[in-house]
Structure 1
């Protein structure tokens, strides 16, 4: 696509300089057919903008097609381009406008057409030359001297209005697509949450059945098989909906970005534009611009070893968001105390307490894997913490647990053994302790995001080409 666009632009520029109007019309017609044949149909505004981008295309020296036609001395091509909203005052190489180049080359007819269509004789080139200074023929100098600048002002206002209307039509089309994309995103997210809840219930029921299996294998065996089959279907549905909803969210975010970009163009990045840009927010707490992003290879340095001190100096523990579950596998086989929060045995209060206390004692990361059930399992964690100590959950999340030896209240000397006596806790090891929340849910709950700071594991960077 990019190579085809470059070839089209080159041919268009050459035809403009040569005065080959038929070739230019053919190129535009061919481009229109290409737009019509696109799988994703362009709305009227974006189509007009795509055509205007071709009309205004520039070469490597920043000279526009109109500038080339002016230098080449083709009044017909100049008139055609201007009638299609070409910018009459675009600056090319050395800051020279189409009017400057036409005057320098002595093309009287081109100068006349450019003046009548908004070409501004007051503009300077980079070396400070006015258009009249560049003129090489007396008849060109005369028309420039006698030109009524008020006509230029009126034409510039009309041109500006026309180009703004095209841009606004494009923005309106993007706004409409944004509404539809947001609706689709919210519907997919809702379906995903519903299936996710069903899967959570299914897992809980499976654990209960497995625990009771030995009591009556003949009774519970078929029930387990049925539940396992149901789980497979739910997992498939969940993964499919998650992938679709993530793609929908990316598309929606891209539209927001494009709308802001186009508004900045039309309003020249004024304060008014900035204010309007803020209104485009999707009220998503997970703002991509405020997330620390890492790839899985950086997990060891940036999270476990924390070489940049971002985990240590933050006032909250991180939530690692990884929808591909790479982080879960990585952390499970590192020197961590890993807790599968869906596993009822791992969430038994004494086992949970010892895993947490051991992480503090030996300076290990305490990993709480919420999988895709962050909202439900966060409540499970709080419930277990409350059974151990009323303020444990709050102190865990706020990092207060390792201050002033507050962790000491977790020690049970009668059952924990001598290794957990208070004098065995070393501050250097305690400094290496950290709590890592982990989720594969691309949309963590607001409550979890408020308790943590997000780190997103990324696998690739997506680049989009727009016309």
Structure 2
């Protein structure tokens, strides 16, 4: 109970009440439960809850789970981590939280995708710069030799393409088929990206 009161006395708790009501109820339930009960959950259950919280951007819930032993670097059966999920959904603060908790910034899935590769895949430009600032490699290649810039160009995300170029992504990188990001943009008729990459 004492630990619950300490959590509720933080600025983060007050911020959640005011600015993140969609997550506040969920966090309230988690913190209201005895922390001993949460601590007693098996590690894989804590990690599954962390994955879900990362995907939903539930920062306070993530912080509680990490505090009671969830593994920031845990991965599921296809090697997708909480950091991959937070990046894919564009959640900046959860990304920072997981890296601060020692998640590997260039962690790889079974397809060799990094969190930075998944961010532009859904057009989440806001996550690109923070990941790069945390030393994510903008030229990391996946199983097919594609970089995050290939992904952004293929899917037509102009802002993500510009952000990746700004953090050092190579427009001349070739995937295993020999295609550059410009080739992929041209093939998909993303003329604005073709011009950006020219």
Q: Which bin holds the TM-score, normalised by the shorter protein?
A: 0.5 to 0.7
Residue in 2 aligned with 1:10? Answer: 48
TM-score normalised to structure 2 length: 0.60
Determine if contact 2:83/2:105 at 8 Å carries over to the other structure: yes
C-alpha displacement of 1:122: 1.2
Residue in 1 aligned with 2:28? Answer: none
C-alpha displacement of 1:147: 2.0
Residue in 2 aligned with 1:88? Answer: 105
Determine if contact 2:84/2:118 at 8 Å carries over to the other structure: yes
Residue in 2 aligned with 1:143? Answer: 163
Structure with the higher fraction of residues in helix conformation: 1
2:91 matched to 1:74? yes
Unpaired runs of 5+ residues, structure 2, are 1-38, 170-198
Q: How does 1:182-197 map to 2 (within 5 A)?
A: none
| Higher Rg | 1
CA distance in 2, matches of 1:148, 1:129: 15
Pick from 26, 38, 41 the counterpart of residue 64 of structure 2: 26
C-alpha displacement of 1:84: 2.6
CA RMSD of aligned residues (A): 2.0
CA distance in 2, matches of 1:19, 1:3: 22
User: Which digits, 9 at most, give the CA deviation of each residue in 1:21-72, with x for residues without a partner?
Assistant: 11111112233xxxxxxxxxxxxxxxxxxx7xx1111111101111111112
CA distance in 2, matches of 1:108, 1:84: 23
2:137 matched to 1:120? yes
SS in structure 2 opposite 1:93? coil
TM-score normalised to structure 1 length: 0.26
C-alpha displacement of 1:81: 1.3
Structure with the higher fraction of residues in strand conformation: 1
Q: In 2 relative to 1, CA 148–100 (structure 1 residues): closer, same or farther, beyond 3 Å?
A: closer
SS in structure 1 opposite 2:111? helix
Unpaired runs of 5+ residues, structure 1, are 32-50, 150-467
